[in-house]
Amino acid sequence: MALWWEDAGRTVSPQAQRLLSLGDGGSNSATQSLVKEDLQGLANRLGLAMRVARYPPYCAKYNPIAHQVFPHVTRACQGVILHTVDIARHFIEQTKTTTGLGGTVRMLDKVYETGRTYAADFQQNMTIIFDDHLPKWNYCAVPECT
């Protein structure tokens, strides 16, 4: 989210005060405190409220982005042997819908640390605001005043 905001979002929406992230919550530890701690840190760094609305496991098919883009990516890659990341990136970059919707491909070559844990006092002092409806999946990190 930070990469998109810094590369494009800030330019197209300079007055934005909050961002919405729709995502699959099935296999990426969306309910873990470390994810929330990192989200709070990002909200603080960008000075934006970060709204998260995740689809529970097996419900990602209802994500509108998935329906608008992924079938076209699948079609563009059909029959192609994706034996390198560059080949996959090339075909995904070429993907366009009939209305001209396309995607941007960014390669993240960051090495992610394993075994990270959240701060000992994070859960007690967490400022994440949980929704009344499905709070496990819907919440907001508001920038903290420093």
pTM value surpassing 0.85:
no
Q: What phi, psi does 130 have (nearest 5°)? A: -95, 140
Number of domains in the chain: 1
- Model pLDDT, residue 15: 93
User: Are 102 and 92 within 8 A, CB to CB?
Assistant: no
How far, in Å, CA of 37 to CA of 75, rounded? 37
Q: What phi, psi does 141 have (nearest 5°)? A: -105, 120
pLDDT in tens, 89-107: 999 888 888 888 887 888 8
Tell me which residue range forms the domain holding 115: 2-141
69 within some domain:
yes
Q: Return the amino acid letter for 63.
A: N
92 within some domain:
yes
106 within some domain:
yes
Q: What is the CA radius of gyration of the chain?
A: 17
pLDDT digit string (tens) for the chain, length 146 residues: 888 898 889 999 999 999 998 877 765 565 678 888 888 999 999 999 999 888 877 777 777 777 777 888 888 889 999 999 999 999 988 888 888 888 788 888 888 888 888 888 888 888 899 999 888 888 999 998 75
14 within some domain:
yes
146 within some domain:
no
- Model pLDDT, residue 87: 93
